[in-house]
Amino acid sequence: MALLEVKNVKKIYTARFGAVKVRALDNVNFSVEEGEYVAIMGESGSGKTTLLNILASLDKATSGQVLLKGKDLAAVRSKELCAFRRDHLGFIFQDFNLLDTLNLRDNIFLPLVLAGEDYKEMEKRIQPLAKRLEIQDLLDKYPYEVSGGQKQRAAACRALITNPDLVLADEPTGALDSRASGKLLGLLEEVNREGQTILMVTHSIQAASHAGRVLFIKDGSVFHQIYKGERSYDAMYRMISDTLTVLQTEPVRQKEAIG
Amino acid sequence: MKKWKLLPGLAVKGVIKNGTVYYPYIVACIFSVFTYFIFSSILLNDIMATLPYSTYAWMMLMLGKFLLVFILIPFVYYANSFLIKRRKKETGLYTLLGMERKHLTVLLFLETLFVYVLSVLGGIILGSVLAKLFFLLLLRLSALPVEAEFTFTWRAVLETVLFFAAVSLFTFLHGAAGIFRTRPVELLSGSKKGEKEPRFQIPGALFGVLVTLLAYKTVFDTKLDSTIFDSFFLSVLLAVVGTYLLFTFAGVAVLKVVRRRKRFYYRPENFITISGMYYRMKKSAAGLANICIFSTMVVITLTCTVTLYAGLEGIRLFSYPYEALLTYDSSGLSREEAEAKLTELSGKYGLTVSRLDTYADQWLECGQDGDRIFGIQQEKESCTLYFITLDDYNCLTGGNESLEERQILLYATGRKYGYDTMEFFGEEFTVKETKVTMLPWPYVGREYSGESYVLAVKDEQALEAMLELPGTVPGQNAVPSERLEKSGILLTGSEEDKAAFMKELKGWQQDFTEGFLTVTDGLEGWQVIHSMDGGLLFIGILFGLVFFMCLLLVMYYKQLSEGYEDQGSFSIMQKVGMSRQDIQRTVRRQMLMVFALPLLAALIHSAVGMCMVHQLMGIIQMFDTILLVKCSAGVALGFAGVYVICYGLTSKAYYRLIS
């Protein structure tokens, strides 16, 4: 059984007074196996973020199913959603989303504290992880005292410390320079090699080339996918680049507005 | 060239777009102008110079206006810096869009001008409408003739316009300096800059505790003497500094210590609350200290005002127990003749005699050491003894006491005497101590320029014998005063009749040549006291309002800035796995704790401050301690209620921002 299954997911946004409906996602189907590293690519407005929000249970699909370890997200009651997210998912965001009120250590501990974890256990978990993400000397600093790359690595540490089933990364390199990006991507790849399942949304070819599989979304549905397999990083980079060219030069399907 | 034309519109729009912060500021400014204008109008009104007994009210108002200036300037400055901080990003954006610093300065100038014109216009219009009302209030509080016509004075307008022009210019220069000091990049990220961890928290906190305790000690050590104002200002200064230090360091220090206890800190129910509080305390120290100080000011001012109002009768009676008091020598005028004259005159003017007391007293200043009374000595405490006969005592108190040989009745107006005997210049007397109501010697309940004891002696012979004793001991510095008869009268009737009565009584006294006779005019004395205390009351009411308005604005701004801060962290916490309800619950708890702190501190400050007020009230001869306690408890309770309501109202602004 796949870790994550996305079946016929549709999302239609309705303006508040109901006149205009916009189809953001149209019949999305794919699945992610345990231990996979999947990148989802697409242009701005292609529905990437909508999809990620649905996977993160921050938003609900209009129709279709999202199964995580066989459990339907729509069936989780809204009261338990927070706990569900905390226990099964880890998040990395483009703008880090670290709390300015907490130092890095406390930011990383936050999900564990909320889950009621013992302090000893927290300390035990943070040490190797912080070392691997190279932030072990920065733990007592506040977010505004460190660089963007360091912030993002702290955010990654926060996402990983709960040992989640799935890490969802939303444009993790979007706010980073190329050096910091490279470092973060390398670390994510390493973490994946050790068995962590990662699903990343991005429009950076550099970021996507690190993934094991790349899904392309266009106008709300999966357009194409490529596996890295035994390809080198450079070959993968070229392939993604070529696919994107095709994707962009394809005659534009009119976005439907159902009224 | 076109850019310059654009600026005025941009300035007005800037104010309107930022209405949530600007409207309260403008309202506060209007109120400041209004208060200043009222003071100014009343002070500059010609009527004040012509009204009888208005000098004291005028003096009090003058003092009030002086203090007002010192409150308004820092207040406007604080509110204005908040505005500038909030709008840094906007200013930064303008720079990016190609505005130069000179344009920004002109823009700021125009905005300041816009706010200035609005508030001065609003304040003066409101003031002109209400000045008459406030003038009547002052007249009424000061018991001055209410028919006086109040006229609008242009001089007051001019004074107000100029004063606030100066204040606005000051805030403008401060803002302009800010523009020139910062780089556009800083302006852009302006309102979201990280705070440095404050250093020296624990020593700072200890120092704050020390300074606050020093302020309290100054208050407790204050005596009613010539240094009281020094101690007053010293303790206020120390308390203000101490409060700032405490709010800056102590709260953060305590939370920091708590944070070190990891097992306690890293628990779901404590973690968010403590870290949130830590951050809030760090950011809001100055704001919270301001709230605390303004709250204390409101409580103390209102307590003074209410106590003064409720205790006015007592204050009047303390200095002038009778409306008319004749003091005379029994060789020229007998008791019967004096009483007859007073009764006759009151009958003539249709006044009813509600009380007529006649007594004779002699006083003696001595030194006191426990139950020993002797001549005045430098290093010993001194006291004043008033001697009356038992008959006069019974007459004054309406009692029916009797005395043995060598026994005296003693009534202490201050602290209890507390001994069964008294060694009076070598002779021993047994003492029967009482506590009674006697108009000429009102009960003070504490030391007031030395202790005062009223001694009632069995009869006239015994009294004479007793007062010969100081003379029998050689080298003693104690000479009893002459024995004078006194007849005091209290009347019921109209004020005009009383005035006519007094006029004729004084005329009679001037024509009196057979001996010593003076008339103490209680009516006039009451007027003077009333005029002064009315002025104080008026200031108290207006100042209470001003302080309250400052408090409200600071609180509102605090809530707004907390709201802006929390907007971001709210969504993050949700993403990391906290439910909306949980977040709201902890945030509500944090906000409550943060805003409860200044109230708590203010109440403690006020409670201590009451000891100072108690002493200060002695200056205007208000000695009713129980009344003061009652009033301060009432005011504190009422204020706490109003504070909670204000919190509730302003927190709406906060919840509007975060939801």
- For residue A139, the 8-state DSSP code is T
Chain A 43-72, residues with CB within 8 Å of chain B CB atoms:
56, 58
**Number of Cβ pairs closer than 8 Å across A and B?**
69
Interval A44-51 mean pLDDT: 82
Q: Which of B261, B266, B267, B579 to mutate to test the interface with A (most CBs of A within 10 A)?
A: B266
Inter-chain residue contact A111 with B193, CB threshold 8 Å: no
Which of B193, B275, B579 is the closest to A101 by Cβ? Answer: B275
Q: B308-324: per-residue pLDDT in tens?
A: 888 888 888 888 889 88
CB atoms within 10 A of CB A174: 16
Q: Which of A53, A105, A114 to mutate to test the interface with B (most CBs of B within 10 A)?
A: A114
Q: Per this entry, what is the length of chain B? A: 659
Residue A110 contacts B, CB cutoff 8 Å: yes
How far apart, in whole angstroms, are the C-alpha atoms of residue A39 and residue A27?
A: 18
Distances (CA, A) of B43 to B150, B446, B452: 11, 37, 40
**Beta-strand (E) ranges in B435-559?**
451-457, 484-492, 517-521
Inter-chain residue contact B579 with A98, CB threshold 8 Å: no
Q: How many CA atoms, within 13 angstroms, populate the side-chain half-sphere of residue B376? A: 13
- Taking contacts as CB-CB distances below 8 angstroms, the residues of chain B near A119 are 262-263, 266
- Taking contacts as CB-CB distances below 8 angstroms, the residues of chain A near B277 are none
Tell me what pLDDT residue A251 has.
60
Residue A235 contacts B, CB cutoff 8 Å: no
* Residue carrying the six token digits 């796949």: A2
Mean pLDDT of chain B: 83
As a whole-number percent, the residues of chain B with pLDDT over 70 amount to 95
- Taking contacts as CB-CB distances below 8 angstroms, the residues of chain B near A169 are none
Q: Is B553 helix (H, G, I), strand (E, B) or coil?
A: helix
How far apart, in whole angstroms, are the C-alpha atoms of residue B418 and residue B412?
A: 9
Does B192 have pLDDT greater than 60?
Answer: no
- Taking contacts as CB-CB distances below 8 angstroms, the residues of chain B near A109 are 266, 271
Inter-chain residue contact B573 with A79, CB threshold 8 Å: no
End residue of a domain, out of B193, B226, B247: B193
Which of A82, A98, A144 is the closest to B578 by Cβ? Answer: A82
Does B59 have pLDDT greater than 80?
Answer: no
Which of A56, A113, A145 is the closest to B266 by Cβ? Answer: A113
Q: Which of B508, B510, B467 is nearest to B362 (CA)?
A: B467
- Which range is least confidently modeled, B5-9, B148-152, B515-519? B148-152
CB atoms within 10 A of CB B336: 9
CA angle B343, B348, B352 (to 5 degrees): 55
End residue of a domain, out of B485, B511, B537: B485
Tell me what pLDDT residue B35 has.
87
Inter-chain residue contact B573 with A99, CB threshold 8 Å: yes
CA angle B235, B237, B241 (to 5 degrees): 115
How far apart, in whole angstroms, are the C-alpha atoms of residue B139 and residue B527?
A: 12
**Closest chain B residue by Cα to residue A86:** B577
Tell me what pLDDT residue A218 has.
85
ipTM above 0.90 for this complex: no
Inter-chain residue contact B271 with A110, CB threshold 8 Å: yes
User: B323 in a domain, yes or no?
Assistant: no
Beta bridge partners, B432, equal B409
Inter-chain residue contact B575 with A82, CB threshold 8 Å: no
User: B492 in a domain, yes or no?
Assistant: no
Q: Is B398 helix (H, G, I), strand (E, B) or coil?
A: coil
How far apart, in whole angstroms, are the C-alpha atoms of residue B446 and residue B448?
A: 6
How far apart, in whole angstroms, are the C-alpha atoms of residue B333 and residue B342?
A: 13
Does B168 have pLDDT greater than 70?
Answer: yes
* Residue carrying the six token digits 């305790």: B213
Is the entire prediction scored with pTM above 0.95?
Answer: no
Tell me what pLDDT residue A254 has.
46
B393-411 burial: b if 16+ Cβ within 10 Å, else e: bbebbeeeeebeeebbbbb
| Residue A258 banded pLDDT, cuts 50, 70, 90 | very low
Q: Which two tokens stand for residue A167?
A: 């890490």
Distances (CA, A) of A186 to A42, A173, B548: 22, 12, 60
Q: B235-270: per-residue pLDDT in tens?
A: 888 998 899 888 888 888 888 888 888 888 888 778
CA angle B344, B347, B352 (to 5 degrees): 120
Interval A51-60 mean pLDDT: 86
Task: Note whether B502 and B346 are within 8 A (CB).
Answer: no
Residue A109 contacts B, CB cutoff 8 Å: yes
Mean pLDDT of chain A: 86
Q: Dihedral sign, CA of B324, B329, B331, B332?
A: negative
User: B533 in a domain, yes or no?
Assistant: no
- Which range is least confidently modeled, B22-26, B122-126, B143-147? B143-147
Interval B279-304 mean pLDDT: 84
| Residue B190 banded pLDDT, cuts 50, 70, 90 | very low
Q: Which of B378, B472, B356, B357 is nearest to B425 (CA)?
A: B472
Does B96 have pLDDT greater than 80?
Answer: no
Inter-chain residue contact A106 with B271, CB threshold 8 Å: yes
How far apart, in whole angstroms, are the C-alpha atoms of residue B277 and residue B589?
A: 10
| Residue B43 banded pLDDT, cuts 50, 70, 90 | confident
- Taking contacts as CB-CB distances below 8 angstroms, the residues of chain A near B197 are 142
Tell me what pLDDT residue A257 has.
40
Q: Which domain holds residue B461?
A: 359-485
Residue A12 contacts B, CB cutoff 8 Å: no
Does B496 have pLDDT greater than 60?
Answer: yes
Q: A112-159: per-residue pLDDT in tens?
A: 888 888 888 888 999 998 998 889 899 988 888 888 889 999 999 999
Q: Which two tokens stand for residue B217?
A: 């000690």
User: B421 in a domain, yes or no?
Assistant: yes
Q: Is B206 exposed, middle or buried (0-12, 13-18, 19+ CB in 10 A)?
A: middle
User: B579 in a domain, yes or no?
Assistant: no
Does B417 have pLDDT greater than 80?
Answer: yes
Q: What's the number of domains chain B is made of?
A: 2
Does B592 have pLDDT greater than 90?
Answer: no
Residue A76 contacts B, CB cutoff 8 Å: no
Does B148 have pLDDT greater than 70?
Answer: no
Residue A121 contacts B, CB cutoff 8 Å: no
| A62 contact partners, CB below 8 Å, separation of at least 6 | A10, A11, A12
How far apart, in whole angstroms, are the C-alpha atoms of residue A173 and residue A204?
A: 8
The A37-41 sheet, strands edge to edge? A89-92, A166-170, A198-202, A37-41, A213-218, A221-227
Does A256 have pLDDT greater than 60?
Answer: no
Inter-chain residue contact B577 with A86, CB threshold 8 Å: yes
Tell me what pLDDT residue B599 has.
94
User: B415 in a domain, yes or no?
Assistant: yes
- Which range is least confidently modeled, B87-96, B209-218, B467-476? B87-96
User: B278 in a domain, yes or no?
Assistant: no
Beta bridge partners, A72, equal A67
Which of B568, B569, B575 is the closest to A91 by Cβ? Answer: B575
User: B387 in a domain, yes or no?
Assistant: yes
CB atoms within 10 A of CB B369: 11
End residue of a domain, out of B139, B167, B193: B193
| Residue B365 banded pLDDT, cuts 50, 70, 90 | confident
Does B64 have pLDDT greater than 50?
Answer: yes
- Taking contacts as CB-CB distances below 8 angstroms, the residues of chain B near A145 are 194
Interval B508-518 mean pLDDT: 83
Interval B170-183 mean pLDDT: 80
Q: Which two tokens stand for residue A48?
A: 């990437």
Does B196 have pLDDT greater than 70?
Answer: no
How far apart, in whole angstroms, are the C-alpha atoms of residue B413 and residue A234?
A: 102
Encoded amino acid at A32, one letter: V
Residue A224 contacts B, CB cutoff 8 Å: no
**Closest chain A residue by Cα to residue B569:** A99
Which of A56, A85, A109 is the closest to B266 by Cβ? Answer: A109
- Taking contacts as CB-CB distances below 8 angstroms, the residues of chain A near B582 are 82
Q: Is A63 helix (H, G, I), strand (E, B) or coil?
A: strand
Smallest CA–CA separation between A244 and chain B, in Å? 31
Interval A209-225 mean pLDDT: 88
Does B519 have pLDDT greater than 80?
Answer: yes
Q: Which of B523, B193, B228 is nearest to A142 (CA)?
A: B193
How far apart, in whole angstroms, are the C-alpha atoms of residue B570 and residue B581?
A: 11
